[in-house]
Structure 1
Amino acid sequence: MHLKHMKKCIPAFLFLFFVISSVAFTAKGQSHGPVKNDKVDSTGEEVDIYCFFPEFIEPDFPGGMGAWISFIRRNLKYPAAAVKANIQGTVVVQFVVDLDGNVTNIKTVSGPGELKQAAMNVIKKSPKWNPAVQNGHRVKGYKTQPIVFRIEK
């Protein structure tokens, strides 16, 4: 592969790396194979460029998504003032699972202000996760979790 073609591939790779790092996957653990990109070089000759994307396994909660949802339901405390005021809605929380599986950098992205602290509190109670893995190495993984607050009648 020519160096000039490799330079063109690197910015695209970096962009995709950041997108992959911040988005949840539905096909966990699958390795992404080569992507063919047909280009024409300066002589007008068509060349094939292959970019390989690294394996990325997102962080996951021990026991899977069902166990995570159960954990949230068991530990979520609906603020009494919000219940009294009939405040409902969805709070979106972002957090990082560090190299050791600890939940860190918890913050809310959206949702009713009266419910945000309760959503962050339940995430703070989380036990350790299985950290993200990229190319066989533990890495920080970003997660986004919507938490629905609904008053049952």
Structure 2
Amino acid sequence: MKLMPLLLFMLLPMAALSQIQGEDEVYLKGDRIEAKFNGGGIDEFTDFIHKEFDYTKVTKPGKMVGAFTVDVDGSVKNIKIIEFFDVESATEFIRVLKKCPKWEPAKRNGKAISIEIKYPMVFKKRN
């Protein structure tokens, strides 16, 4: 019986957290809802990148990080490559981002806002 208060003490914080972490939930301080790609999240965006990216342009292994803004109308703007290892891969990444369909913009207080997304890609040596 002495364990019951301890168990409740441990489980109550978990229950509170599970209510905050939903996909369409409003977040603390931010009442911010993240941008969505094709009705989903970053996984759907990753699928798009993998489908559209021409991997024959990759000449060696390395890491590349691209950044872009999802504007209030959902369009992809301000594309830039923050980190890259060869020009061909970076150029291909920019080409794919320019081809990207509109996102559902992020929202704060129910109003669309623009956000910057940083997206890393790691290329491994082919066998």
Higher deviation after alignment, 63-72 or 89-98: 63-72
CA contact (8 A) 2:74 2:102 kept: yes
Q: Which residue, out of 119, 123, 128, partners 2:97?
A: 123
The offset of 1:28, in angstroms, is 4.7
TM-score, scaled to structure 2: 0.71
Query: Is the 8 Å Cα contact of residues 27 and 33 (structure 2) preserved in structure 1?
Result: no
Does structure 2 conserve the Cα–Cα contact (< 8 Å) formed by 1:119 and 1:147?
no
Q: How far does residue 131 in structure 1 lie from its aligned partner after superposition? A: 0.3
Name the structure 1 match of 2:111.
Answer: 137
1:111 aligns with 2:88: no
Which whole-Å deviations, capped at 9, do the CAs of 1:97-142 have from their partners, x for residues lacking one?
0111100000011121322111222211111101010001001011
Q: Which blocks of at least 5 consecutive residues in structure 2 are unaligned?
A: 1-20
Query: What is the root-mean-square deviation in Å for CA atoms of aligned residues?
Result: 2.1
Runs of 4 or more consecutive aligned structure 1 residues displaced over 4 Å after TM superposition: 26-29
String of CA shifts for 1:33-72, please: whole Å, max 9, x gaps.
4xxxxxxxxxxxxxxxxxxx23111212114233211111
Comparing 100-109 and 111-120, the one that deviates more: 111-120
Query: Partner of 2:43 in structure 1?
Result: 66
Say how many residue pairs are matched.
105
Q: Aligned letter for 2:36? A: D
Looking at secondary structure, tell me which structure has more strand per residue.
1
Same amino acid, percent of matched pairs? 30
Q: Which has the higher contact order (CA 8 A, sep 6+)?
A: 2
Gaps of 5+ in 1: 1-25, 34-52
The change in CA–CA distance for 1:32 and 1:74 in structure 2 (over 3 A counts) is: closer
